[in-house]
Amino acid sequence: MINKCFDPFPELETDRLILRQVEEGDLEQLFEMLSDAEVAKFDYFYPINSKEEAMNFIGRYRKELEKNEEITWGVILKETNELIGTCCFGDFNDGARRTEIGYDITQKQWNKGYATEALKAIIDYGFNVMNLNRIEATITPGNNASIKVLEKLNFVQEGIVRERDLIKGKLEDGIIMSILKREY
């Protein structure tokens, strides 16, 4: 079984980042990130247009956490105490001890290694605290930066699932990548 004990919320720390629950005080930075068309380009959501929509994301993160459906960490840059992204585990399968990983980083912080650093922390948490056996990601073809991040973390590309996800009203293939606990 997966250990999904998220009370209290598990805060994680790396050299440059703190991973913690997303709060109302993060609204400005969350809005900036989720309203950026480039950040949303390969994701299921359209760029948001209002702070109210950003607040709805915060509410959704909380509801999914309460139901043990998903846990979303805010990626906080220690240097400025600003939210620069989110990362999450969701789509849990208790029997197989599997979850799916997801992440977004604000565009002005791209190519600085923050996604890799944040994901390394939650992968470590997933294998060593949650007792996961497999962590997988589904990447929309064309999202080469995301594939590079996962390859740095030793994820293996397994194949393509045809027309797996509805992205911006279009059925898109999904590149499946994963890492197993014994490979970590």
Domain membership of residue 84 (yes or no) is yes
Is the Cβ–Cβ distance between 46 and 40 less than 8 Å? yes
Residue 113 falls inside a structural domain: yes
Q: Residue 1: which pLDDT band, with cuts at 50, 70 and 90? A: confident
Residue 87 lies in a domain: yes
107 occurs within a structural domain = yes
Question: 23 lies in which domain range?
Answer: 12-133
Euclidean distance between CA atoms 59 and 105, whole angstroms = 19
Whether 25 has a pLDDT exceeding 90, the answer reads yes
What is the identity of the amino acid at 180?
Answer: L
Domain count, the chain: 1
Query: Token digits for 66?
Result: 């309460």
pLDDT at position 44: 87
Q: For 118-171, write each residue's pLDDT tens digit.
A: 999 999 999 999 999 999 999 999 999 999 999 999 999 999 999 999 889 899
Tens of pLDDT, residue by residue over 11-23, are 999 999 999 999 9
Give a yes or no: residue 179 inside a domain: no
Quick check: bond before 8 cis, omega within 30? yes
Assess if residue 156 is contained within a domain: no
pTM of the model: 0.96
What CATH number should be reported for the domain holding residue 32?
A: 3.40.630.30
**Section 91-104 average pLDDT:** 96
Residue 1 lies in a domain: no
**Per-residue pLDDT, 3:** 86
Query: Measured over all CA atoms, what is the biggest interatomic distance in the chain, rounded to whole angstroms?
Result: 44
Q: Quick check: is 184 in a domain? A: no
